[in-house]
Amino acid sequence: MTEQIRYGVIGTGMMGVEHIENILAMDGCVVTAAADPHPESLEWARRAVGEGTELATFSTAEELIESGLCDALVIASPNFTHHQVLIPAIESGLHLLIEKPLCTTLADCREIVDLVEQRPAEQVIWMGLEYRYMPPVGALMAEIDAGTAGDVKMIAIREHRFPFLVKVDNWNRFSKNTGGTLVEKCCHFFDLMIQVTRSKPVRVMASGGQDVNHLDEIYDGERSDILDNAYVIVDFENGSRGMLDLCMFAEASKNEREISVVGTRGKLEALDTESMLVIGRRTDDVISGINVVTEQKISDDRIKHQGLHHGSSYLEHVDFAEAIRAGEPAAVTVRDGFWSAAVGFAAHRSLETGLPVVLDELDEISGMAMS
């Protein structure tokens, strides 16, 4: 496929508009349709495509899917709608890019994976896990591939950031709508842990709570229950381990995210706000080892739209479009989406029980391989 790719965007709130802006920054791509039940959100989509540009708008995903106006769809509707939207979208044969998380329950995630894996290979179904594409993360992964860190043993990810933003009808204030903070927000980080360790997560233990944010927010008589801080430890099949340190009332931070990978030969750090890669190499002289630490400012000249995620969404869209044109399979699959969310669901279960959770003991994971 070499001609222009026509996109439809389902869900045109903040993230839907972000996707529109990224698509329009690419050559040979156009947004032809948008679907959202909220007129204000559709107006945001119209503004994003610009005056004088034709945009068909629909109140339901089904109408857009059946319109014949699109070659590819971006699913950016609220998390709790993903399952119902994805089934007709997948069955339509259109190419899909799915915003994270895949679904809000592990059972729904498994159902979608099973459905996707029955589809023809030429249908590109891509899981939106754009943190892989952040320039300092890409540079970190390249150093891991080069053996700079040696045999990876530990990965620690710290996200210290601002509270959840306001979404339409405040849907993101409730775990039942999002899948829970450790799914909604943190599937990105569990995906990175899996990529770095190149291993299957086998055990998860978590501690966390809602201690500062949204405590006085009540909607239709229901109090917000969304977590705002947590620690999560993940053990992997190959003996490596990961740790997540999440705090969503820590906007007074130099770097919103810090990713630290330690192996037998050294330590790598990706600092995404500064877009910095720090490389430390172990030496026999442990006292003066600081002298072998170097810092590199990382940039990517391919990025034409920075957006909300330092250009990572743009780079992900470029790869998605290239896969469509080349007839190649998705590089980031719904199976990746399943495992990144599965760790988050297990972390929430650990919070509820106060005990570690062994993933293979969860019914929904039975028989599910990594790839």
Q: What is the pLDDT of residues 219-267, one digit of tens each?
A: 999 999 999 999 999 999 999 999 999 999 999 999 999 999 999 999 9
**Residue 249, CB-side half-sphere exposure with 13 Å CA sphere:** 12
Residue ranges of domains in the chain, CATH in brackets: 5-129+311-332 (3.40.50.720), 132-302+339-365 (3.30.360.10)
Environment class of residue 115 by beta-carbon count within 10 Å: exposed (0-12), middle (13-18) or buried (19+)? middle
Mode of pairing for the β-strands spanning 241-247 and 229-236: antiparallel
CA-to-CA distance for 69 and 84, rounded, in angstroms? 21
CA-to-CA distance for 148 and 334, rounded, in angstroms? 30
| pLDDT number for residue 291 | 66
| pLDDT number for residue 283 | 85
| pLDDT number for residue 367 | 83
pLDDT band at 288 (very low <50, low <70, confident <90, very high): low
pLDDT band at 1 (very low <50, low <70, confident <90, very high): very low
CA-to-CA distance for 35 and 67, rounded, in angstroms? 11
Residue 171 predicted with pLDDT over 80: yes
Residue 356 predicted with pLDDT over 80: yes
For the residues 295-310, what does the mean pLDDT come to? Answer: 94
Q: What is the pLDDT of residues 21-43, one digit of tens each?
A: 999 999 999 999 999 999 999 99
CA-to-CA distance for 134 and 227, rounded, in angstroms? 25
CA-to-CA distance for 85 and 115, rounded, in angstroms? 13
| pLDDT number for residue 2 | 54
For the residues 34-53, what does the mean pLDDT come to? Answer: 95
CA-to-CA distance for 24 and 305, rounded, in angstroms? 9
Q: What is the pLDDT of residues 95-147, one digit of tens each?
A: 999 999 999 999 999 999 999 999 999 999 999 999 999 999 999 999 999 99
Helical (H) or strand (E) element with 201: strand 201-209
Contact status, residue 159 vs residue 256, Cβ threshold 8 Å? yes
Contact status, residue 234 vs residue 344, Cβ threshold 8 Å? no
Question: Angle at the Cα of 316 (from 84 to 276), degrees rounded to 5?
Answer: 130
DSSP calls for 274-297: TTEEEEEE--S-STTGGGGEEEEE
Each residue of 10-48: b (16+ CB within 10 Å) or e? bbbbebbbbbbbbbbbbeebbbbbbbbeeeebbebbeeb
What are the start-end ranges of the H helices in the chain? Answer: 14-24, 39-49, 61-65, 82-91, 106-116, 135-145, 175-178, 181-184, 187-197, 312-326, 334-353
The model carries a pTM of 0.96
- Where is average pLDDT lowest: 49-53, 197-201, 316-320? 49-53
CA-to-CA distance for 321 and 23, rounded, in angstroms? 9
